[in-house]
Structure 1
C-alpha cells in the first residue's frame, strides 16, 4: 500500500463534494489485484490506522478524481480549430479527409500515442472515444491504452452510406469487424468496447439493425453515437427514417437505446425524447465547447433535470476546442445560463465538477468504479496545483469556501493546473 497526504476532493452519494483540507488517501490492491482506494479521510483520524505505510506529502496541492471524457474523437485530434460554416460542411471539408488517413496503421499508432499523452496531460484518466471506420484505428488506440493501464472505451465507427471513399465501410464486413473487435478488446484489462454508429444518416437500416443485434448479444458493451446536434442534421435524419417518431427514436427502433448507451449532444429534444432517455437508461454526453464552436445550440439542463435522465460532460474533440476539462466545465456554465428555454440554470461549481467525474461515471454505468475517490474506486486521480499561475494563485488564496475555490479553478484553470495524473 501507499498513501498520499494532501487536500482531497471526492463526492458523496448525493453528488455533493466532500473536501478534506488535510486528507489522507490510501491506495492498495483489492482481492483481484486492482489498485483501489483502501481508505480516505482526515489525515489525523486515518494515519494511526496505517502504521508503516509510506506517505507522500503534497503540501499546497489538491488530489481529485481523474476526469472522465464522455465523448471524444481520437482521430480528430488534428481537426481542432478548423473553420467551417457548420457541422455538415465541417465533416465534409475536414473530418472525413483526416479520418481517411487512418487506413495507414503507422499513422494510427503515432496519433494514438499523442492522443493519450494529451488526455493525461489534461488530467483525463478515462475516456469514451470514437475511432474511425478502420479496425486498425481501434487496435492502435486500445493497444496504447493497455500499455498505460488506462480505463478506455472505444469503437470502430459504422458508416456504410452518405460517406466518402476512404471512410465508408461495407455493411456486412463492418458488423463482422465490430464483433471481432468486441471479442478482442472488451473486458481485456481495463478496456471496454462501444458499438459505434457514427450517426443515423451515415448508416443503412441493415447496418443499424445489425448494430442493435450485437448490442443485444453483448449487453455489457457500450453503445455510442450522435443525436439531435444540428437542425439540418435532424431534418436529414427524419427524411431518411420517416417511420421513426424522432431522430432519437431511430436508435430505439433499432435496439440501440439502453443502459451503457451514450448519445452525444441531445440538444434539440422534446419531452418525449427526454422521457425515452430516462426510460431506457441511456445518457447524454454534453459537449459545450463543440456546440458553441459549431453554433449547434444549447443543451437544456433545466429540461434534462426535470426529466431525470443521465448526463455528463465531454470535450468532443475535434469539434470541441480543447482537451481541458476546465475549459469544458466553464463552457457548460455558459450553456447552462443560456438553455433552450431561456430559463437557464446556474450550475454550481460542485455540480460542474461532478458532471466531469462521478456523474460521467454514473452515465457510463461505472458508478463506484472510476470518477471518484471513495473506498473501492479504482485509483485514478490527479494532483492539482491551485497556484499554477500567478492569477490563479492570487484568486485561490482568497477563496472563502469550497465553491469559490472550485470555481476559480474552473474559470482560470488549464493543463498547467494538472501537476500529474496517476493511473491505478
Structure 2
C-alpha cells in the first residue's frame, strides 16, 4: 500500500452556510494547515505540524501560500457543446437551432463522442473542476463516452441521455417509449458504478411531449434515488412558448410537476423568471436550482435572484452551463455570479462564491456527504489555487488586507493559470 500524501499550505475550512451565518465565520482560511490523502479519501485535515507528527510516513507536498480548496462542482453543463462554446449572437431558441442541434447530431458517432468527452474532461480538470453534472445528447453512445472517460479517470460524474420527441431536428428526436427504454438501460448500466451517477434528462418542456414527460416521470418513480435534470424559466420568450404548448399548465414548473418530474432529487437549471407558486413548490419539495451566470449574461437571459432565493432557503448550486456559458472555469463563473449580484444590488462575499462552487453545488447534487468540503472521510477531490498567478493578480494580492481580499482578486481575475493542481480521487489530474 502506498504511503499517504500530506498536502500543506492554506486550507479552506467549510464550517457552515455563509448565506445563513456571517461569511467569514462560515468559511475560514486556515494558515499552515494540511490535508492527508489516503486511498482516495481525506484521512485528516488540520494544523500542518500536528499532521506531520501523526502521519510520519506521509509524503509531503508543500504548497506554501497556495489555497487548498474542495474541488469545484459544476452542477449543470452540456459536454457535447464543448466545440461550439463562445458562438456569437443568439438567444436561446436560435442558439439551439443554429449551433447546438447541428453539433449534437454528430454524437451518433461514438468516436467523435469519445474525442469530445476526453477533451471536455481535460479542460474542466485544468480549471479545477472535479465533479460535473452534464447533459449528453439523445444518443446512448454520448452517455457511454463521457461515463467511460470519467470512469477511467476515477472521477465523480453525473450524466444522462437528453430526451426530445418534438421541436427538434429529425436526427435528434426519440419517442416517449425509446426515451424510457434507453434511459432505463443506461441507468442500469452506469448508475452507482464506481463514482458515476445517472440523471434522467428531459431537455426542457418545449422539446418533450406530455407523453414523454410522463414516461420519464414514471421511470423516476421507479428509481427515485436518481437525479433528474432539466431547464426551467431561462428566458421570457421560452416561457411564452411553454405556455402555448401546455395551455392547461399553471406555470412552467407545472409542466414538470403534473408529469411526475418535481421532487427533492430534481435539478432545475437557470430558474430566473420564477412565479411565486413556483418558488413555493420548489422550496416545499426540496428541489435544487442551478445558477448559470455566464450563460445568463452571454445569451441575454436575465438576472438570477440569488439573494431572494437564498433568503427563502432554496437549495442553490452553481454551474458553467457550457457551451451556452462562455467559460469552462468555475472561477469565471463565480466572478459572473458576483457581477449579477451587483446588478441586483446584492454583492456576494468571496466565501459565498466559493461555497456555491463547492459545498453548495454538492448539496444541489445530494452529494455533500461525499464531496464539497475538506474533512475526514470525504472523497479526495481538491483544487489548489495560486493566489498570485499573474502579474495583475499578484500586485493586487500584495495590497490585500487579509486572505479574503487575496481570494477575491483571484475569483475576479483568475483562470486556469490560477490552478496549481487538481486532485481527483487522491491523484493529480493530467
Q: TM-score range by the shorter chain?
A: over 0.9
Is the 1:10–1:65 Cα contact (8 Å) retained in structure 2? no
Secondary structure at the counterpart of residue 172 of structure 2: coil
Which residue pairs with 2:29 in the alignment?
A: 19
Q: Say if 2:6 is the partner of 1:3.
A: yes
Is the 1:28–1:36 Cα contact (8 Å) retained in structure 2? yes
Secondary structure at the counterpart of residue 224 of structure 1: strand
* Residue 164 of structure 2, aligned match among 156, 159, 163: 159
Q: How much does 1:156 deviate?
A: 0.2
Q: How much does 1:306 deviate?
A: 2.8
Deviations 1:241-283 (A, max 9, x none): 1222110121111111112211110000122211111111111
Q: Say if 2:143 is the partner of 1:142.
A: no
Which residue pairs with 2:21 in the alignment?
A: none
* Residue 72 of structure 1, aligned match among 73, 77, 80: 77
Q: How much does 1:167 deviate?
A: 1.0
Which stretches in structure 1 are left out of the alignment for 5+ residues? 30-34
Which residue pairs with 1:221 in the alignment?
A: 226
Q: Indicate the RMSD between aligned Cα atoms, in angstroms.
A: 1.2
Alignment of 1:206-285 (within 5 A): 206-285=211-290
Deviations 1:155-214 (A, max 9, x none): 000100111122111221121000000000000000000000000010011110011111
- Aligned partners of 2:307, 2:61: CA distance in 1, in Å? 42
Which residue pairs with 1:169 in the alignment?
A: 174
- Aligned partners of 1:10, 1:36: CA distance in 2, in Å? 16
Moved more, 349-358 or 47-56: 47-56
**Off by >3 Å, runs of 4+ in structure 1:** none
Secondary structure at the counterpart of residue 72 of structure 1: strand
- Aligned partners of 1:306, 1:122: CA distance in 2, in Å? 30
Which stretches in structure 2 are left out of the alignment for 5+ residues? 19-25, 426-430
- Aligned partners of 2:330, 2:219: CA distance in 1, in Å? 32
Which residue pairs with 2:98 in the alignment?
A: 93
Secondary structure at the counterpart of residue 337 of structure 1: helix
Q: How much does 1:72 deviate?
A: 0.5
Moved more, 217-226 or 248-257: 248-257
- Aligned partners of 1:170, 1:244: CA distance in 2, in Å? 22
Q: Say if 2:60 is the partner of 1:55.
A: yes
Which residue pairs with 2:361 in the alignment?
A: 360
* Residue 130 of structure 2, aligned match among 125, 133, 151: 125
Q: How much does 1:302 deviate?
A: 2.5
- Aligned partners of 1:167, 1:11: CA distance in 2, in Å? 43
Secondary structure at the counterpart of residue 347 of structure 2: coil
- Aligned partners of 2:422, 2:58: CA distance in 1, in Å? 21
Deviations 1:78-107 (A, max 9, x none): 121112331111111111000001011111
Which residue pairs with 1:389 in the alignment?
A: 390
Is the 1:361–1:367 Cα contact (8 Å) retained in structure 2? yes
- Aligned partners of 2:401, 2:327: CA distance in 1, in Å? 29
Is the 2:110–2:142 Cα contact (8 Å) retained in structure 1? yes
Is the 2:190–2:196 Cα contact (8 Å) retained in structure 1? yes
